[in-house]
Structure 1
């Protein structure tokens, strides 16, 4: 179901930083191609040359079109419109703001695609799923959060629990700030999470 025009405008303005003059850096989308593997990689590559696969080597060979992609969002391109129109509410992507260039942000994000648990077992970490980002950011240790936010000012994701919200995560010292931005004409709330 398409978003209401006012809802869509709030979402676009928030992500592009037009409603928050304090936003810094480039807007990036991290897109989970497994949500529509026959469509997402080809569409992204057709719309922009500022896109890169998050996986490489054996992982890329093994997972192919089911991998994650990172795209820089420019005002003059249709990538953001396409992601909102086709994937918002379907857990296609998360967004972030960074002053890093595309190659550097991809290099940074690749560090988090594979993690080890306390027993030393290796797992793929699908942080680019909005549900995963929403659940794990608040429970990261200070060290994990510092590493994850290195070079990233802000993370955004749809709220799968409350579909009329966009979640915005940033840090203030050792605290994680979580803001629920209403996608209907109301105010969001900010709270610190230790």
Structure 2
């Protein structure tokens, strides 16, 4: 829901870097110039407007700093003394000046990243008038009579609202404001919304003859939000959440999502499993995200798993259930990992045993007389060869030839021969070269001086 609600701090932190990648559009100088021409467009009487930016600090922590350190006249839309965290997240109104460096910075960084909206006014409207109106419409009444905080300064929200509001609602939202200028969903689109006799119209798109509104009567009381508007807000919020989840999963669960992405099925998978999460009673975005984490790891059929069904059958809060199934999934994943590690250890032990049986005479016949290797007994020899063999296996070289060459290098230069400068061991190069080619190269990299 785009109306204010308590969002999980953990969810915000987990998605912060992902969403930042999605929201780093920066306008070019030419685009800033074009946008300024739109903002400071003279009206029919030839008057130059006063332009205000209404910015949501929570959208980007740069916003509060730019306003605080800038010279342009501004005001916080929340009265009273604020904590540092509240001041960063609060909404602000800034009176912009054409071509001012601070104006350019706000437009360059904020436009296209949903920092806020732009209000166009003409004299006698003042900053005080506009601020008062902005504060009035920040609190709205739901169809059930509940007071809700309205993030109208998010262009994604106001685009929906202005497209559906009636004349009475428009009068309350616009107040002393003539036009609202908002970024579009698609890059390069500029919306200019204006009150008219035909209702609220985007004059940048609508080519009909626009008749300026004459009756600007404002009904007393809070602005009311209809069920249809709330449904529209929820639909947009849900669509954005799906996009965020696609990015979240593809970032943190790349191995599991690669095939879905290649087949263009990730969006469908997310929608399907969000529905499964909702069927289980998960409502908050954090709880749904946790369910998706489990489903992408354990598979979509996890919804029918006995352990998950058992947790869901308990009399617990949904958030507690979401936490428990995520913890259980991680526990199962760890158990699977430990089983794989044990199996690999068994395989590697067989490799090392064969390695010892095949080459221990070579170490005694070559390493001892030529490179001055010393072993107290067969047990010490076996221990040394196992350590050498494990080093080779741990860098992904497991065939017999690789072990044989690694042994030659270890006998000649010592088991702890330098490896830190061997860029040849990088993953990309390992894929291109055979194990023997890699090791012959590594051997050539060693100093000629014996270091056994």
TM-score, shorter chain, exceeding 0.5: yes
* Residues 63, 4 of structure 1: alpha-carbon distance in 2 compared, 3 angstrom cutoff: closer
Shift of the alpha carbon at 1:147?
A: 1.3
2:41 maps to 1:17: yes
Q: How does 1:73-88 map to 2 (within 5 A)?
A: 73-75=96-98, 77-88=100-111
SS at 1:152 equivalent = coil
Query: Which has the larger share of helix?
Result: 2
**Please, which moves more after superposition, 168-177 or 127-136?**
168-177
Shift of the alpha carbon at 1:95?
A: 0.3
SS at 1:176 equivalent = strand
Residue in 2 that maps onto 1:176: 200
Shift of the alpha carbon at 1:70?
A: 0.3
Residue in 2 that maps onto 1:135: 160
* Residues 11, 103 of structure 1: alpha-carbon distance in 2 compared, 3 angstrom cutoff: same
2:52 maps to 1:52: no
Tell me the number of residue pairs that the alignment of Structure 1 and Structure 2 aligns: 182
Residue in 2 that maps onto 1:121: 146
Q: How does 1:56-71 map to 2 (within 5 A)?
A: 56-57=79-80, 60=82, 63-71=86-94
Q: Which of 168, 174, 181 is matched with 1:156 structurally?
A: 181
Q: Which of 132, 137, 145 is matched with 1:112 structurally?
A: 137
Q: Is the Cα contact below 8 Å between 1:32 and 1:128 reproduced in 2? A: yes
Whole-angstrom CA distance in 1 between matches of 2:53 and 2:191: 14
**Please, which moves more after superposition, 124-133 or 100-109?**
100-109
Residue in 1 that maps onto 2:27: 3
SS at 1:48 equivalent = coil
Say what the alpha-carbon RMSD is for the aligned residues: 2.5
**Please, which moves more after superposition, 3-12 or 151-160?**
3-12
Whole-angstrom CA distance in 2 between matches of 1:35 and 1:178: 25
SS at 2:113 equivalent = coil
Q: Which of 60, 67, 72 is matched with 1:36 structurally?
A: 60
Q: Is the Cα contact below 8 Å between 1:47 and 1:77 reproduced in 2? A: no
Shift of the alpha carbon at 1:52?
A: 0.2
* Residues 151, 24 of structure 1: alpha-carbon distance in 2 compared, 3 angstrom cutoff: farther
Q: Which deviations, in whole Å up to 9, do the C-alpha atoms of 1:46-75 show, x marking residues without a partner?
A: 2125100111248x5583321110000112
Shift of the alpha carbon at 1:7?
A: 2.9
Q: Is the Cα contact below 8 Å between 2:42 and 2:48 reproduced in 1? A: no
Residue segments in structure 2 that go unaligned for 5+ positions in a row: 1-24, 211-452
Shift of the alpha carbon at 1:137?
A: 0.6
Query: Which has the larger share of strand?
Result: 1
TM, length-normalised to structure 1: 0.82
Shift of the alpha carbon at 1:175?
A: 1.7
Residue segments in structure 1 that go unaligned for 5+ positions in a row: 181-187
TM, length-normalised to structure 2: 0.37
SS at 2:178 equivalent = strand
Q: Which deviations, in whole Å up to 9, do the C-alpha atoms of 1:64-104 show, x marking residues without a partner?
A: 32111000011263222011221111100210111321122
Shift of the alpha carbon at 1:18?
A: 6.2
